[in-house]
Each structure stands twice: as structure tokens, then as C-alpha cells.
Structure 1
Amino acid sequence: MQSQTPALDKSLNAFHLWGIAVGLVISGEYFGWSYGWASAGTLGFLITTIFIAAMYVAFIFSFTELTTAIPQAGGPFAYSLRAFGPTGGAIAGFATLIEFVFAPPAIALAIGAYLNVQFPSLDPKLAALGAYILFVTLNIVGVRIAATFELFVTVLAVGELLVFMGVVAPAFSLANFTAGGWAGSDTFGSAAIGGIFAAIPFAIWFFLAIEGVAMAAEEAKEPKRTIPIAYITGVLTLTVLAFGVMIFAGGAGDWKALSNLNDPLPQAMKGVVGESSGWLHMLVWLGLFGLVASFHGIIMGYARQIFALSRAGFLPRVLARVHPRFRTPHIATLAGGAIGIGAIYSDNLITIAGQSLTASIVTMAVFGALVMYAMSMASLFKLRHSEPNLARPYRAPLYPAAPAFALAMAAICFVALVIFNPIIFAIFATIMTVAVLASRLRAGGAAGASFDPAI
């Protein structure tokens, strides 16, 4: 039976994995985060981002222990399945799936919006559809090709952010950044504190999906060595970029003019170098690389999560098929793409709590991420207790303080998100409940019994 288990191609090195780690997230440096200024002001959002960055650093340094001890494509699903059994595995697996399936449509529409700026006659939804077709195909053709492309566009996107900071740095003024920097009139008044909590999803957007490297673990060479390198350098890279981009953009001019825009970086640079500058045109064009890197990387992530859930019997087995030539989960890749395309073409037809469908599914993706973070840290504690002899090539530093901090922060963020988004939470909870119950009813509740996550 083990010889019939679908197997993925092992061809990724530490550079590929770093490219995936940073590339999964880097679109969050280009758009989305500036809405946090509208909620909390620059200083309030800075506080939010400091706490969220600390949560992610603690989480990644702890999460890496699980990834190296159990290097499976399911990532958080595999850890929770081993720690808490099929129900725990289902909760973590479907929460991760919601995060990774619901984030790409928003990024695809942002890609379409960027292209529409350059080509006004191009329908953004048609461009988003083209992006799905192109990158789903690239993911199916081969993981090494896909990961090499991911590394290439990620390096370009990181370089572009450094160029942005360098170009606007001469115009930076601390007075610009701090002007009206708190929500409400009082520092740490009720409005300011409420704004800090309301801005949590936008700070999470700086780091959302970095954990997706775990889903490429089965395709990594020497995962016990390469994954820690990729995760630690990746989270540190993203932390530096997040604070650099936010601080330089906020201090280069009137940050309030950027707080409700999907393209804060080009607009910040326009105020410094002028509308006709070659630097600005470069930023607009190369900004696509940041979006493409995240879009492409998250497709890799959702495909592996669907594959792992299906291989373990939590989803129909057909989704666990591996392409006979390319050794990639092609059916899972296509299935996630179909859901994303459906969301794109429903964007203007459906609103939730006054938000567009895209804005709502981004929030739903954050709900999924927070549940996954909590389940992963709980799994770390459980496995330390129940399997003390499990081979752990990398052990979480500052245990138990670091994972406890990450778990507590995820819980605080989740409660804040529920308070500010009750309708979207109700939809998320309904989807999770149906998915978990359906997976447990499959084969009389035997889902997960046919696949040993330790293999």
C-alpha cells in the first residue's frame, strides 16, 4: 500500500524555499496594508505592526520545529492530525485551505488592476483570468520550474522595494509620518486603541501565507537543513521590508492620501519624483512582480494542501492524483483555480456586510490563517508532551515562551477580528463546520486512518 502512495518530486533547495517563503507574502508589501492607516493612523498602525511582526517571528521560529520534524505536504494539517487526530487535522487543514484558496482571487484582481492602468482597454477580470490560466499551467508543468520562476520574480520584487525606499528616502520627514498619527484625537484614547485592534488584518497582510513553505516540504532536498534556513531568513527579510516600506511611504508626504488606495507605493513615489519620472514607471511595471510572486506561490500552497487532505481521505481521492510525467498535484491545482476564477467573476455581484466579495474573502483568509496558527502552536506543545522522542532536527528557541506568545497573539487577533467582522466570521464558522463534519462522515469517520503522517 505504501508504494501506491502518491509521491511528489524532490527538487527544491534552500534558495527555492526562501523564494517561496518571501514570494508567498511579498504582494502584501505592495498593497492592502495601507488601509491600516485609515483604521489606526500611522503611529497606531506602527504599534499594531510591531506586535504582529513579533507574533510572526515567534511563530516561524516555533513552526520550523514542526516542519522539520514532520516534513509533509499538508503542513499544519499533518502536524494537527498527528497531535490531535482526525478532527484536529480537519480543523487545521480546512482553515489552511480557506486561507490559501481565498487569497489568490484578490491578488489576481490586483494584477488585473495594475495592467489596466497601463492598458485601459483591458478588462481587469479578463487579465485576472489570464493570470490564473498561466500560473496554474506553470505549477502543473513542474515544481522545479515553478519554484525557479518564483525565486526569480521574488528577487526582482525585493529589489524593487529597496529601490522604492532609496528613491523616497530623501523626502522622508518624521513630522510627515507622525502628523495625525493616531485614530481619534487622544494618544491611546478609546478611538486610538480601537483603531489599533481594527488594523490587525492589514498588519497580518504584511506576513500572511509565509507558512506555505511547509507545504513544499515533501519536495525539498534535505528538508531538515533547508527549511530552517528558508524560514528564518524569509521572516527576517519580510520584517525588514514591511517596516521599511511603511515608514518611508508614510514619511514621504501626506500619508492620509495613501490610506485608502490599492497602489500606495506608486502614489508615494509620484509625490517625490513626479508623474513623468522613469522611476515611477519602473515601480508600476515591476510592481507586477510582487503580485505575481505571491499569486504564483499561493497556488503552489493551495495545491499541496488539497493534495494532502485528499491523500488522507478528508477530500475526494481524485484530488490526490499526481501527474504521471510532471509529478505535480494537477487535479488539486485545477480545482483551486476553478474556485478562484468563480470568486473573480462574482466580485461585483456579491457584497458581504457592505464589503465587496474580494475584500470579504481576504478577511476570511485571515480567519483561516489565525486558526491554523493556533492549531500549529497547540500541536507543538502536544507533541512535545506526547512524543518527546520524536526526531527534532531543529528545536524552537525560547520554548515554551515563544510558541506561547505566538498562540496568545493569534487568539487575541482572532477575537478582535470577530468583533470587527461578525458576519464574515459567521460565514467562516459555517464553512469550517460543514467541511469538518463532512470530512469526518466520509467513510464512516475513518478519514485520516489510511494515511500515516509520519511516512
Structure 2
Amino acid sequence: MRKMTTQLKPTLGTLHLWGIAVGLVISGEYFGWSYGWGTAGTLGFLITALMVAAMYTCFIFSFTELTTAIPHAGGPFAYSRRAFGEKGGLIAGIATLIEFVFAPPAIAMAIGAYLNVQFPELDPRHAAVGAYLVFMGLNILGVSIAATFELVVTVLAVAELLVFMGVVAPGFSFSNFALNGWAGENSFSSASIAGIFAAIPFAIWFFLAIEGAAMAAEEAKDPKRTIPRAYVSGILTLVFLAIGVMIMAGGVGDWRELSNINDPLPQAMKAVVGEHSNWMHMLVWIGLFGLVASFHGIILGYSRQFFALARAGYLPRGLAKLNRFQTPHRAILAGGVVGIAAIYSDGLVNLQGMSLTAAMITMAVFGAIVMYIMSMLSLFRLRKIEPHLERSFKAPGYPVVPAIALGLALVCLVAMVWFNALIGLIFLGIMSAGYIYFQFTAHHRANAPVDALLSQA
């Protein structure tokens, strides 16, 4: 019987990794964030976004130390298992899986919404499922093809955001952006403070999943050199785009018409250039590249997380099987099944009065925040218990910078639980189901291949 292959092949360079890091996230600049305006107002959400940007900047400069020291497809799962043992790995692994499995349905629905602008007769749900089928297939064909495609669409998506800011600039007015800019009232108040914290999930959506590039670390050439370059340039790119796009979109008219919709950029541009402008049509079509870049990249990310957890015995071993293209095809399909089921639940499930997109974003953010906390705790613990671990990149400003990331992540988690109790309970239920499976499958981990990166030296 032919031995099952469970080793990924290194083929990715710095540009590919930058494309993955930015591409994973860039859909957050195209949609999702405007739900935060409906919660906090433009001025309140600006404060939320700046706080979250500070958290992510500190987090990435700290997380890069872990990624380069432990270049593993499991990413946060591998760091937490090495730092805290099997249960620590379980918490980080399942949280990361929730983040990466629940984000794609939200993006797929936005792809459907963008296509619906051009083709009103097209059901956005059917378009969303079609996106799953196309991009799962592309990921199955090979990581080099997938990463090259990711790089191309990411560059186009970044260029389109710059074009958007330039085209709407003549119609921008800060007075439009600031009008009714606080939640509840026209001035700063206790309601405004509540809105600032309630909007955290939608500010996190600006940057959600940048850490997914860590899951391509096993497939990176010279990860100790290429990953830091990709991460640092990636976070700087995303902070600039996020703040720029949000401010420019909010200043072209009545921003309240753009909140709580899946296509805020086309609608903002329509207010400046008109519905039938060539600029408008270009934004819709090229804007799809931003959504596709994140959608495609997150499929790559969730498949590597399924793969790593299965290879280590935390999930059924069959999910770690590679095909002849050396990609984890079963893991790719498993996440797709969950995502397509979520898409067709739209309208059947009502969570705290949220749209499906907002609910999926919130669930993904719960997973992300728990994973960020576990990653920063792992950084501190590994510094203590493995001082001689080779660290080609060290977190600048240690321990202050990672402590800022950890502290802000804890603030975000408390706010998430306070304002999203029902989704928080569902998240906890999924985590508990993962723990129950873990308790009954110790023999899977005992029989898993030995992985030196998951064990303390």
C-alpha cells in the first residue's frame, strides 16, 4: 500500500507571501467594515479602527517571531502546542479553524452582492456557491498556481482601492464624514463609548486573517527571511488602505446610506460619478478581485489548518491526505461544505437581529481574538521556557509591544462577549465540541507522525 504523504513542499517567495498576507485581508477594505458605522457612527468607528490598527501592528511584529522560529502549517496551533502542550494547541487550533471557516461565507456573499450590482437577476447565494466551487478547485490544483493567482489579484485589488480614493476625492468633504458621527447623539456621550466597543468586530474585519500567511510557512522558501518581509510590508499596506478607504467613502455624501450593506464602495462611487459611469463599472468588476483575493487566500488558510490538526491527530486523519498536486484536497472540501451550508442558511437563521454577513464576521472575529490571545501568551511562555530557541526575528520592544497586543486583544474579547452574547455562546459550544472530540481520540495523537516543531527542545 502506498504511504500517505503528509509533507508540504516549499515553493513560495517573499512576493507570494506578501500577496497571501495582504490578499487574505483585503476584502475587509471592500465590505464588512461599514456595519461598524451603523453601530458607532463614523467618528466613533474611526476611534475603534485606530485602536484595532494599533493592536494588529503590535501583534504582527510579535507574531512574526513565532512564525519564523516555528515555520509550521498549523501556525498558532503549533506555537500554542509547543508552549502549553496538547490542550493549548487544541484551543488555538479550533479557534483558528473557526476564524478561517466562518470568514469565507461572508466574503462569498459579498461576491454575490457585487455581481448582483451588474446582474440584478442573479441570486447572490448561487453566485457565492459558484465562487466556492471555482476557488476550491484552484486551490486543489497546487499551491504555486494558487499563490501566483493570489499575488496577481491582490496587486489589482490594491490598485483599485487607490483608484477609488482618487476618483471620489473631488466629492470628499470632512463635514460629510463628521455629520452625525457619534452613536446615539450628535456629540460624544456614553452611548458613543458603547458604540465604539460594540463596533470592534467590524474594525477587526479590516485586518482579519493576515496571520493566515503563517499557515503557508512550511511552503515558504527561506521562511526566516521571507516571512518577516512579507508581514511587515503587509501590515503597513493594510493600515494605510483601511483608514484611507473608510475616510474617503464616508465623506462623499450621507454615510448612513452606506452602513449595513455589502457593497459600500460602489455605492459611494455612485454618489460621485453617477450610476452609469465607466468608473463605476470598473470598480464593481475590479473590486471583485479584492473579494476574490481574500476568499481564495482564506480557503488556502483553512485547508492548512484542517491539514495540520488532522496530521497531529486532533481531527480525522483522512483530512491530512495530500493529492498528486501535493495539496490537502479533503481539507479544502471540508471547509467548503461548512461554508456552503452557511450561505444557504441565510434567511433561516436570525442571530441577535444580524444579517448573515454580520453574524459570520462576528463568529470569525471570536475565533481570531482567542487565537491572538493564545499566540501572545505562547510568545511570552516560549521566551521563558525555551530561551535558546532560534529566533531569526525577535519582537521589537519586547515585552512592551506584545503586551500591548495582548492587552488590546483582551479588551476586544470582553467587548465581544458583552455585545454579542448569543454568538459568543455558539462559539463556546463549537469549542466545547472540539474538546469532547479531543477527549475521545487520544489514540489518534499517539499514532500521529512525530513532529519536532510541536515539541519542546
Q: Deviations over 1:287-338 (max 9, x none)?
A: 1111100000000000000000000000010000111x21111111111111
CA contact 1:439–1:447 (8 Å) conserved in 2: no
Q: Distance in 2 between matches of 1:402 and 1:372?
A: 17
Alignment of 1:174-323 (within 5 A): 174-185=174-185, 187-323=187-323
CA–CA distance in 2 between the matches of 1:116 and 1:178? 30
Q: 1:431 aligned to 2:430?
A: yes
Partner of 2:349: 350
When normalised by structure 1's length, the TM-score is 0.96
- The match for 2:366 is 367
Structure 1 letter corresponding to 2:6: P
**Please, what TM-score do these two structures have when normalized by structure 2?**
0.96
Q: Indicate the residue corresponding to 1:417 in structure 2.
A: 416
Relative to structure 1, is the Cα distance of residues 333 and 449 closer, same or farther in structure 2, using a 3 angstrom cutoff? closer
CA displacement 1:1-28 (0-9 Å, x = unmatched) = xx97611121111000000011001111
Letter in 1 for 2:51: F
The answer to whether the 8 Å contact 2:4/2:321 transfers is no
1:65-144 mapped onto 2 (5 Å cutoff): 65-144=65-144
Contact 1:33 1:203 survives alignment (8 Å): yes
Aligned residue in 1 for 2:334: 335
Paired AA for residue 42 in structure 1? T
**Residues 320, 332 of structure 1: 8 Å contact kept:** yes
Unpaired stretches in structure 2, ≥5 consecutive residues? none
Q: Which moved more, 1:175-184 or 1:39-48?
A: 175-184
- Once the two structures are TM-superposed, the CA of residue 122 in structure 1 deviates from its matched residue by 2.0
Shift of 1:433: 1.3
My pick for the range that moved more, 95-104 or 39-48, is: 39-48
Is 233-242 or 439-448 further displaced after alignment? 439-448
- Following superposition, the deviation at residue 92 of structure 1 comes to 0.0
Aligned partners of 2:216 and 2:445: how far apart in 1?
Answer: 26
Amino acid at match of 2:377: A
Alpha carbons of 1:187 and 1:401: their partners in 2 closer, same or farther (altered >3 Å)? farther
Structure 1 contact 142–327 (Cα < 8 Å) conserved: yes
Q: Which moved more, 1:273-282 or 1:205-214?
A: 273-282
Aligned residues: 452
Between the aligned partners of 1:24 and 1:264, the Cα distance in structure 2 is: 19
The verdict on how the C-alpha distance between 1:312 and 1:23 changes in structure 2, with shifts beyond 3 A counting, is same
Q: In the TM superposition, what is the alpha-carbon distance from 1:420 to its structure 2 partner? A: 0.7
- CA drift at 1:344: 1.3
In structure 2, the CA distance between the partners of 1:180 and 1:314, relative to structure 1 (3 Å rule), is same
Q: Is the 8 A contact 1:311 1:451 kept in 2?
A: no
Q: Name the CA distance, whole Å, in 2 between partners of 1:251 and 1:302.
A: 36
What residue ranges of structure 1 are gaps of 5+ in the alignment?
none
Equivalent position amino acid for 2:391 in 1: R
Say which is worse superposed, 19-28 or 115-124, in terms of deviation. Answer: 115-124
> Aligned partners of 2:370, 2:433: CA distance in 1, in Å?
16
Q: Distance in 1 between matches of 2:329 and 2:169?
A: 45
**What is the root-mean-square deviation in Å for CA atoms of aligned residues?**
1.5
Bigger shift: residues 156-165 or 259-268: 259-268
| Cα shift readout 1:376-398 (whole Å, capped 9, x = no counterpart) | 00000000000000000000001
Deviates more, 1:11-20 or 1:337-346: 337-346
Contact kept, 8 Å, 2:80 with 2:89, in 1: the verdict is yes
CA distance in 2, matches of 1:448, 1:384: 30
Partners of 2:48 and 2:114 lie apart in 1 by 28
Q: 1:393 to 1:141 in 2, by over 3 A?
A: same
AA aligned opposite 2:76 = P
Are the counterparts in 2 of residues 72 and 215 from structure 1 also a CA contact under 8 Å? yes
* Contact 2:313/2:444 (<8 A) preserved: no
Instruction: Name the CA distance, whole Å, in 1 between partners of 2:121 and 2:89.
Output: 46
AA aligned opposite 1:121: E
What's the secondary structure of 1:355's corresponding residue?
A: coil
In structure 2, what is the Cα distance between the partners aligned to 1:417 and 1:443? 33
Deviations 1:113-136 (A, max 9, x none): 211221222222221111111100
Kept in 2, the 8 Å contact 1:70–1:453? The answer is no
**Matched residues in 2 for 1:361 and 1:288: separation?**
19
Change (3 A) 1:275 1:356: closer
